[in-house]
């Protein structure tokens, strides 16, 4: 039976970084329309982090929310100064219940052109900046025994021509899992999850323009623009529903990774193959050889008889290798395990 209740955020406060445009703006508008008070954090600079601070960007979102009857406050601090962002929310509203870590920069250098300076700047904003905000808000979450955190990751983590950006976003997965484990140890209602959005935003458009110009300058062909029907379908507002659900008190998801874009939603999971035990039962001290691995590809490619590691519970993706070996030893003593392949 379909639940007809409307998800409400009355009395709650959200910090949304990078909320001046694109995805962050739509997240803010949706939460505010559901009664949430929102701190709109945005520097108003370019997609690659360059340019002077432009407070009008955050102010415009605040004005739009207030015009619709909601409550919002603008903030132009850098995520590198997370304590200032959190302090601004406390000063304005006295509490913080939700943090949507959406701010980020994207530089156009391909691997052969990527400099250490550009790499470090991307990591500083996209990963260390999230650490800075979460480090500042965490004592508040712990004190009130409640909190919701959503990290904005990227499909670039699977591999793309932007190594610094991909690495910075992939790092958010480890951070999220670690924070969720901290909450689990304290037995608190703090939920930390990850969103991998795909949307047509200013960042994606400006990045594409920059890359295409570089290709032209190098005498290379430029790929055709995506059809308007697709870009319209991939508008940022078609992602925000998932943010609202993950931010709600009824949501019990923990250390989950979700994809969203164009009205499409899915959850991602790690997958482990069927184990390969390259140790003879008659000689537990035998050292595996490279040929054992070569000859064990059938097991290492068998995901139907594998499992899905769990994140955020402190088992580091359990069952760990130690547990797997222990279970294998027990199977030798008490019976075989059909899911194990031995060489």
Provide the annotated active-site residues.
165
Contacts of 167 (CB under 8 A, 6+ apart): 123
Q: How far is CA 102 from the centre of its chain?
A: 9
DSSP three-state, residue 73:
strand
Contacts of 66 (CB under 8 A, 6+ apart): 72
Q: Select from 57, 59, 76 the least CA-distant residue to 67.
A: 59
CA distances to 5, 6, 99, 118, 252 from 2, rounded to whole Å, are 9, 12, 28, 49, 18
Question: For the chain, first and last CA: distance in Å?
Answer: 51
- Paired tokens of 307: 């499992």
Which neighbouring-strand residues pair with 341? Answer: 276
DSSP three-state, residue 179:
helix
d(Cα 296, Cα 159) in Å, to the nearest integer? Answer: 27
Longest dimension (CA), the chain: 76
CA distances to 31, 35, 298 from 137, rounded to whole Å, are 19, 21, 47
Contacts of 343 (CB under 8 A, 6+ apart): 276, 277, 278, 279, 280, 288, 292, 295, 296
Q: Are strands 146-152 and 98-101 parallel, antiparallel or unpaired?
A: parallel
d(Cα 244, Cα 164) in Å, to the nearest integer? Answer: 29
As a whole number of Å, the CA-based R_g of the chain is 23
Q: How far is CA 145 from the centre of its chain?
A: 23
């Amino acid at each position: 039976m379909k639940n007809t209740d409307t998800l409400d955020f009355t009395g709650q406060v959200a910090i949304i970084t990078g909320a001046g445009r694109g995805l962050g703006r739509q997240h803010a508008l949706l939460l505010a329309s559901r009664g949430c008070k929102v701190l709109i954090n945005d520097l108003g600079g370019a997609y690659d982090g360059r340019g002077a601070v432009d407070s009008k960007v955050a102010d415009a979102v605040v004005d739009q929310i207030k015009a619709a009857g909601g409550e919002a406050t603008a903030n132009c601090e850098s995520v590198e100064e997370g304590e200032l962002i959190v302090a601004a929310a406390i000063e304005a509203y006295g509490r913080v219940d939700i943090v949507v870590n959406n701010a980020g920069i994207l530089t156009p250098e391909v691997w052969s052109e990527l400099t250490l300076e550009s790499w470090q700047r991307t990591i500083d904003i996209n990963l260390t900046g999230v650490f800075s905000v979460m480090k500042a808000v965490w004592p508040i979450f712990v004190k009130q025994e409640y909190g919701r955190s959503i990290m904005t990751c990227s499909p670039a983590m699977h591999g793309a021509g932007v190594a610094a950006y991909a690495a910075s976003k992939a790092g958010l997965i480890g951070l999220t899992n670690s924070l969720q484990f901290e909450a689990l140890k304290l037995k608190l209602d703090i939920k930390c999850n990850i969103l991998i959005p795909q949307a047509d935003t200013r960042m994606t458009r400006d990045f594409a323009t920059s890359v295409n110009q570089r290709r032209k300058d190098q005498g290379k062909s430029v790929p055709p623009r995506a059809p308007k029907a697709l870009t319209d379908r991939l508008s940022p507002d078609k992602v925000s529903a998932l943010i609202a659900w993950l931010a709600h008190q009824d949501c019990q998801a923990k250390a989950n990774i979700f994809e969203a874009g164009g009205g499409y939603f899915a959850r991602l999971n790690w997958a482990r193959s069927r184990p390969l035990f390259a140790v003879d039962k008659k000689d537990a001290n035998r050292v595996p050889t490279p040929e054992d691995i070569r000859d064990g590809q059938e097991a290492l490619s068998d995901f139907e008889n594998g499992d899905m590691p769990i994140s955020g519970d402190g088992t580091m993706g359990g069952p760990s290798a130690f547990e797997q070996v222990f279970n294998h030893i027990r199977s030798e003593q008490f019976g075989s395990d059909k899911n194990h392949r031995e060489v």
